[in-house]
Structure 1
Amino acid sequence: MPYAPVEGARLWYEEAGSGHPILFIHEFAADHRDWEDQMRFFSREYRCIAYSARGYPPSDVPSDPKLYGQDFAVADAAAVLRHLGIPKAHIVGLSMGGFASLLFGIRHPEMAVSLVPAGAGSGSPRSEQAPFRAASQARGDALIRQGWPGEIAEETGHSPTRIQLKKKDPRGWAAYMARLSEHSGLGTGLTMKHYQGERDSIFDWEAELRRMEVPTLLAVGDEDRPCIETNIWLKSVLPNAGLWMCPRTGHAINLEEPAAFNAALSAFFSTVERGRWRLG
């Protein structure tokens, strides 16, 4: 199995296709498998890489809480690209991965052809940050204690921003739930406590974001309430960003509406690669 060495762990990754590279960074309640629709579609013309984050088998699950957090998430993405000899790629992330993709653009702009932060921003508004952090600590403790099968998975799959997938695609939702039940309680619990529960507010990065010129496509579902305010704000501060809002769609936008998501990204990548994204 292919692994990329990173600080304190090894990350399992998979590749498909050839051409310009795309790196996919998954969300908290997912792993590399949740990018399958994108890997199949884009590998026709691109070199696609998806990996499982630290704490998500078959990647290593460090037991040291100090080996989790937003700094590791960004450094790991860069390390995977360096391991594969890729100097620059399109960076696509969902939710927790979308957060990482934005921070990647701040810290490693020279390695990003473009950014697609999808469904990013939960817990970032000032009024929501403290309760979000407290809830993340409690959820992380519960995951470490009891793991995913049962109550936590059912609550996640039926949450207000994920129930849309079940309504639209029951078969796809069932597959998602099966994957969810296989996650490491320890790995995801430590991720929830020390990445989700300790990360910055995106609003903290305003000065850096206003200077960031990497072409960016913000993607969000119009029923993904915790993320809408942050994405509208991001559109107002990022100098080279567009905002795509998918109607009747919740948080797992790439799973709910893969055809629309893939089409939006395909058009964006093409425009960026032709040097036509930024007008003026």
Structure 2
Amino acid sequence: MQPLLEQRTVSTSVEGVELDIATMYRAGDLTPIVFLHGFGSTKEDYADIVHYSAFDGHPVLAYDAPGCGKTLCSDLSRVSIPFLVETAGAILDRFGIDRFHLVGHSMGGLTALMLAHANPERMLSFTDIEGNVAPEDCFLSRQVIDYPADSDQAFFDAFIERIWHSPYFSCPLYAASLRHKVRAQAVRGIFTSMVELSDHADLMTKFLSLPCLRMFMYGEQNASLSYLGHLRDNGVALAEIKHAGHFPMYSNPVEMWGRLAQFLADAGMNADMPG
């Protein structure tokens, strides 16, 4: 029987901010797989990995980002993508993880990209699920600029209402849980930094320059993204998930897990020695 996922709280400090990070971990003898969830989500997006035998034997780590889920943060105004990158580094150190397969979705995809760019030698593979690599990817985060509000809570309430009425797969499901998964005071810093990096940090070059194997996963409703051909022409594996938009883990998790398993198998997942 495969080890079960364990929930642990890891206390640490990042840039002087005290954090109690809610983590989800499974031990194993093969190479670790690290998941970074998206905005409005939690580590539980990836808990079903235990039901897919392709991943047996691999340590699994996911955690609630500061401002999200059960993680506690002493100063939510400090949360941003650079802060989340530093948090990821601190958590990896606490779990003693050196080299690993990295998977990030949306906000977590951008965090993962910046982490991978800073530590390319530690990446065995990188799966970017609808993460930001170009300015056009800010369809959620740019709302902090396009829809100004008098307070963090007012913006968040209106944001949730707009998302609920979106025509894309799983948006009402996603919107319904946002108030339970995200602290409103963390939203502005996260969204503002996502826009800033997407507009000015040359994310595409960072992604394409990574030496590890890379996959970009997206829902079929986003098949019109302008850069998909450019990714393919530069050696990035593409995984289009049917019956999905921005949230394949909600709309079509079976295909999402299957495509991830195949990509990691192609990347030599089961031949890698733990780092």
Is the pair's TM-score, using the shorter chain for normalization, greater than 0.5?
A: yes
Is the 2:160–2:175 Cα contact (8 Å) retained in structure 1? yes
Q: Residues 122 and 218 from structure 1, CA distance in 2 versus in 1: closer, same or farther, beyond 3 angstroms? A: closer
In the alignment, which of 2, 10, 15 is matched to residue 25 of structure 2?
A: 15
Equivalent position of 1:53 in the other structure: 65
Is the 2:219–2:243 Cα contact (8 Å) retained in structure 1? yes
Identity of aligned residues (%): 18
1:273 deviates by 2.0
Equivalent position of 2:5 in the other structure: none
1:96 deviates by 1.2
Unaligned runs of 5+ in 2: 1-7
1:106 deviates by 1.4
Structure 1 distance, partners of 2:130, 2:142, is 21
SS in 2 for 1:50: strand
Q: Residues 207 and 190 from structure 1, CA distance in 2 versus in 1: closer, same or farther, beyond 3 angstroms? A: closer
Q: Map 1:84-163 to 2 at 5 A.
A: 84-121=95-132, 124-125=135-136, 135-137=143-145, 141=149, 144-146=152-154, 151-161=158-168
- 1:122-176 deviation digits (Å, cap 9, x = unpaired): 7624xx87x977522466857723475x654343233233xx237xxxxxx65x4
**Structure 2: which amino acid aligns with 1:233?**
H
SS in 2 for 1:145: helix
- 1:63-121 deviation digits (Å, cap 9, x = unpaired): 363x2322222222222111100111111011111122222221111221110001123
In the alignment, which of 224, 245, 262 is matched to residue 267 of structure 1?
A: 262
**Structure 2: which amino acid aligns with 1:13?**
T
In the alignment, which of 235, 244, 249 is matched to residue 244 of structure 2?
A: 249
In the alignment, which of 26, 32, 39 is matched to residue 43 of structure 2?
A: 32
1:32 deviates by 1.6
SS in 2 for 1:87: coil
SS in 1 for 2:170: helix
Q: Residues 64 and 97 from structure 1, CA distance in 2 versus in 1: closer, same or farther, beyond 3 angstroms? A: closer
SS in 2 for 1:102: helix
- TM-score, with length taken from structure 2: 0.79
Is the 1:93–1:116 Cα contact (8 Å) retained in structure 2? yes
Is 2:34 the counterpart of 1:3? Answer: no
Structure 2 distance, partners of 1:248, 1:181, is 26
SS in 1 for 2:260: helix
SS in 2 for 1:251: coil
1:180 deviates by 1.8
Is the 2:99–2:122 Cα contact (8 Å) retained in structure 1? yes
Q: Residues 254 and 231 from structure 1, CA distance in 2 versus in 1: closer, same or farther, beyond 3 angstroms? A: farther
Of 75-84 and 43-52, the range deviating more from structure 2: 43-52
Unaligned runs of 5+ in 1: 167-172
Instruction: Give the alignment's Cα RMSD to 1 decimal.
Output: 3.2
SS in 2 for 1:229: coil
Is the 1:74–1:104 Cα contact (8 Å) retained in structure 2? yes
Is the 2:197–2:203 Cα contact (8 Å) retained in structure 1? no
Normalized per residue, which structure has more helix?
Answer: 1
Equivalent position of 1:170 in the other structure: none
Of 244-253 and 16-25, the range deviating more from structure 2: 16-25
- 1:243-265 deviation digits (Å, cap 9, x = unpaired): 11123320001221111111111
Structure 1 distance, partners of 2:36, 2:9, is 17
Is 2:170 the counterpart of 1:165? Answer: yes
Q: Residues 143 and 234 from structure 1, CA distance in 2 versus in 1: closer, same or farther, beyond 3 angstroms? A: farther
1:203 deviates by 7.3
Structure 1 distance, partners of 2:219, 2:226, is 12
Q: Residues 189 and 141 from structure 1, CA distance in 2 versus in 1: closer, same or farther, beyond 3 angstroms? A: farther
Equivalent position of 1:188 in the other structure: 187
Structure 2 distance, partners of 1:55, 1:214, is 30
1:21 deviates by 1.1
1:2 deviates by 1.5
- 1:18-48 deviation digits (Å, cap 9, x = unpaired): 2421111111121222223335437643211
